């Protein structure tokens, strides 16, 4: 199993460790519920160094990425990022990721840990057969890079104490707190360059920080120290999963896989069908106009029951109609919530469902996404 | 450090038994609740069900996962703890008192000799 540069810190903090996508990662430090609620009320610090970082640069980078990814990178000015997906020929999702335009001709891609090798091989293959192959440099910096996410309503109170402006690249901001959602900027930290973006995977305000691997421990310690007075605590993958489930963000391997398209997964907003030809477009266009055979829905349990879990069968009026892909007890709402695929004719809020839990059926109902919205 | 009361018997799979004659009360240990954290659901056997030692006969669910709870002894279920079904957090806060799972009328009380003492269980969990 691989370990991140923060592994020793997790051990010192007494984290419980689990395997995730080939990595030995902290699932929790104290309790998932406590860490979850800390992120909702104050601030939490996550190690996301397992995630992959690719740098794509050169005069052909824009056109190459617009062929490989579903969203339109031409909408990105330097210092801005977007959620996007990478699809195969059939529109199936190879990965979902963030792409940032750092400078006019340089991009940073943040991909899922379990998909680093698959993604990189896929992009290399696409590049080889692309007209831009001489004008694109594709570099996998995952092993040389560390990353953390600092998330929660109180992060804004201490982020500027962690990284001093003005920015030296990306968005031209004086300090991190002036970054707008999805903006990214470079700041000098211990004599090196770290990238700070206003993004996250929790549904709360917050930032993600990408640094050289050897600096990430210092980044972690700085954020811990500056955030402590605001109630910041380290948070593990357990809370990361319940937080993202409450806001219905997809997790690769659950909502998304190579047999599922972005349209089916309800993330068609990030598919720019109007930008011209790109990988998977014919299928995605077809689904957008003619419809899909399965649709991702959010449901909550109506009976007092065990929480729903991945692979539990979904039934409607007695017959099997689909499968749960994510499910948990929602710490914010105090009830069982889940996401699953059902036929499109059932995919309407208020449709009653049954979730089969250890051979018994428990009542559930489809609800609008997301389950949780942060206070404005 | 986990609490391991001296007057109870323990199974390798982290259940405890409080044995009084041919009656036993069953629950999961402080160490087990600490490992699970945040118990959100408990499923208990029905009264009258006959269980064999080693059978999975209850389920405890944390936020993250569902775990089977095994019968440490054989017998018939004579009572279940409705309070822990209504308030699963009792497993975390009172694993040996308010958080008990069910009571058994033992069919083979001699099986208790195969369970661990508090010292042996403490050694198993590295206490």
pLDDT in tens, B3-39: 999 999 999 999 999 999 999 999 999 999 999 989 9
- Cα gap A300→A308, rounded to integer Å: 9
- Tokens 């691989």 belong to residue: A2
Chain A interface mutation, best of B34, B37, B84, highest count of A Cβ atoms under 10 Å: B37
Q: What is the pLDDT, as a whole number, of residue A209?
A: 98
pLDDT at residue number B1: 75
For residue B4, being part of any structural domain is answered with no
Q: Is residue B116 part of a domain?
A: yes
ipTM score for this prediction: 0.87
B2 lies in some domain: no
| Å between A301 CA and nearest CA of chain B | 13
CB pairs under 8 A between A and B: 39
**What is the per-residue pLDDT for B106?**
98
Which residue among A16, A32, A358 sits closest to B38, beta carbon to beta carbon? A32
Q: At what angle do helices A32-41 and A237-246 cross, to 10 degrees?
A: 60
Measured between CA atoms, how close is A344 to chain B, in angstroms?
Answer: 29
- Give, in words, the CATH class of A293-376: mainly beta
Q: What is the pLDDT of residue A355?
A: 98
In a domain, B104, yes or no: yes
**Domain, as residue range, for B103:** 9-124
Distance CA A356, CA A324 (A): 10
What six digits make up the tokens of B23? 């009656």
pLDDT in tens, A315-348: 999 999 999 999 999 999 999 999 999 999 999 9
8 Å CB contact of A329 and B37: no
Contact of A358 with chain B, judged by CB distance below 8 Å, is answered with yes
Instruction: Find, among A234, A310, A229, the residue nearest to A48 by Cα.
Output: A234
Domain count, chain B: 1
- Residues with pLDDT less than 50, chain B: none
* Residues in chain A with pLDDT values less than 70: none
Q: Which of B32, B38, B85 best probes binding to A when mutated, by most A CB atoms within 10 angstroms?
A: B38
Contact indicator for A300, A365 with CB cutoff of 8 Å? yes
Domain-embedded: residue B89: yes
| CB distance A257 to A93 below 8 Å | yes
- Could you state, in order of their start, the residue ranges of all structural domains in chain A? 7-50+144-245, 293-376
- Report the CATH number at residue B29: 2.40.50.100
CATH number of the domain located at residue range(s) A7-50+144-245 in this protein: 3.30.1360.120
Across-strand partners of A120? none
Residue B87 in any domain: the answer is yes
- The total number of residues shown for chain B amounts to 127
Other C-beta atoms lying within 10 Å of the C-beta of residue A199: 21
The pLDDT value recorded for residue B127 is 60
φ/ψ (deg, to 5) at B21:
65, -120
In a domain, residue B59? The reply is: yes
Indicate whether B3 belongs to any domain. Answer: no
Do B41 and A329 make contact, defined as CB atoms within 8 angstroms?
yes
Contact residues on chain B for A238, CB-CB shorter than 8 A: 63-64
Cα A122-A124-A128 angle, rounded to 5 deg:
120
- Give the pLDDT score at A204: 98
Residue A119: what pLDDT? 98
């Amino acid at each position: 199993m691989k370990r991140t540069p923060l592994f020793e810190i997790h051990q010192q903090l007494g984290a419980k460790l689990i395997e995730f996508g080939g990595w030995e990662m902290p699932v929790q430090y104290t309790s998932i519920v406590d860490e979850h609620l800390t992120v909702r009320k104050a601030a939490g610090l996550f190690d996301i160094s397992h995630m992959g970082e690719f740098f794509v640069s050169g005069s052909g980078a824009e056109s190459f990425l617009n062929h490989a990814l579903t969203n339109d990178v031409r909408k990105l000015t330097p210092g801005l990022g977007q959620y996007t997906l990478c699809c195969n020929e059939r529109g199936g999702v190879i990965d979902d990721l963030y792409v940032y335009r750092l400078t006019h001709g340089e991009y940073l891609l943040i991909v899922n840990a379990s998909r680093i090798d698959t993604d990189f091989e896929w992009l290399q293959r696409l590049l080889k057969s692309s007209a831009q192959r001489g004008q694109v440099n594709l570099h996998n910096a995952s092993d040389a890079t560390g990353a953390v996410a600092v998330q929660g309503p109180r992060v804004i109170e201490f982020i500027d104490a962690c990284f001093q402006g003005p920015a030296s690249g990306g968005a031209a901001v004086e300090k991190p707190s002036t970054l707008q959602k999805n903006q990214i900027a470079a700041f000098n930290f211990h004599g090196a360059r770290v990238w700070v973006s206003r993004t996250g995977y929790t549904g709360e305000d917050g930032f993600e920080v990408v640094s050289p691997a050897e600096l990430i421990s210092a980044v972690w310690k700085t954020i811990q120290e500056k955030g402590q007075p605001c109630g910041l605590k380290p948070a593990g993958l357990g809370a990361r999963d319940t937080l993202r489930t409450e806001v219905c963000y997809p997790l690769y391997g659950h909502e998304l896989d190579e047999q599922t398209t972005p349209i089916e997964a309800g993330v068609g907003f990030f598919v720019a069908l109007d930008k011209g030809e790109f990988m998977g477009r014919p299928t995605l266009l077809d689904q957008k106009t003619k419809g899909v055979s399965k649709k991702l829905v959010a449901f909550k349990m109506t009976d007092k029951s065990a929480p729903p879990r991945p692979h539990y069968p979904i039934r409607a009026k007695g017959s099997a109609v689909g499968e749960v892909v994510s499910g948990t007890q929602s710490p914010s709402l105090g009830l069982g919530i889940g996401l699953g695929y059902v036929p499109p004719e059932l995919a309407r809020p208020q449709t009653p469902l049954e979730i089969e839990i250890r051979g018994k059926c428990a009542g559930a109902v489809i609800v609008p996404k997301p389950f949780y919205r942060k206070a404005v | 450090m986990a609490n391991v009361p001296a007057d109870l018997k323990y199974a390798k799979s982290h259940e405890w038994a409080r044995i009084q004659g041919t009656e036993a009360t069953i629950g999961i240990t402080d160490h087990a609740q600490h490992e699970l954290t945040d118990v959100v659901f408990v499923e208990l056997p029905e009264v009258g069900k006959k269980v064999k030692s080693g059978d999975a006969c209850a389920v405890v669910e944390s936020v993250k996962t569902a775990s089977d709870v095994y019968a440490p002894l054989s017998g018939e279920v004579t009572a279940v703890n409705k309070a822990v079904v209504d308030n699963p957090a009792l497993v975390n806060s009172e694993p040996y008192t308010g958080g008990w799972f069910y009571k058994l009328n033992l069919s083979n009380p001699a099986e208790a000799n195969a369970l661990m003492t508090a010292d042996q269980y403490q050694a198993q969990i590295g206490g």
